[in-house]
Amino acid sequence: MSEILRNMSLAAGLLVVFALIGSGLVSLTYDGTRERIAANEKEALVRSLQELVPPDRYDNDPLADAIRVTGGALGVQEPVTVYRARRGGQPLALFTTVTAPDGYSGPIKMLVGVYNSGVLAGVRVISHRETPGLGDAIELRKTHWITQLDARSIGSPYARDWKVAKDGGYFDQLTGATITPRAIVRAVYGFLTYFQANRSALFAPAPGDKPKEDSDA
């Protein structure tokens, strides 16, 4: 019996050692890749922003000039980050994520850029679970459907026309899929309405920011 107990204790000890070694290796791997993952995510975000508004249009760093806003009007309840682009200290455009909660297969998350004038710089789908071959045509790599939102605004088309054609509106729907584009058009219009009502606050300096002083240099 004592021999059995010794063997069991030895086996348990070995398991603990292997568990500690495994945990250490996972921790080392995570620490070694965490910074690279963060860098890749930042690079992807910068590319997306520059796709909507060319970087030669602004002279600040939108990722540094960012605020967090309550996300209820943007399709989610948690706070959402808003990135601001400026030129010569003046508001040029902002970017944020907007979620259409009523897609056919669930929420549709988008990156939206809008100029200070209220004109859309563009909309790009970030994530969704729409039906392959139908609803996934909202992806730019599949079709150019999403680009019909470029350069649109509250007044172009008129408010009554911010609907898909099947509902009597301005925007084309997708062949065999109406719920998906309807959800996107509704969410983008809701964002434009929110932007119009909160433009000054959205472009206001973040708390703690100090205005840049003019230089004689």
Tens digits of residue pLDDT in 120-153: 999 999 999 998 988 999 999 999 999 999 999 9
Domain ranges of the chain: 1-52, 55-203
pLDDT, one tens digit per residue, over 15-66 is 656 566 656 555 555 555 766 766 776 778 888 899 999 999 999 999 999 9
Quote the pLDDT of residue 5: 52
Quote the pLDDT of residue 211: 47
| Tokens 């009597």, located at residue | 168
DSSP class of residue 88? T
Separation of alpha carbons 97 and 126, rounded Å: 9
Question: Span 87-104, mean pLDDT?
Answer: 95
Quote the pLDDT of residue 204: 93
Contacts of 172 (CB under 8 A, 6+ apart): 145, 148, 164, 165, 181
Who wins on pLDDT, 56 or 13?
56
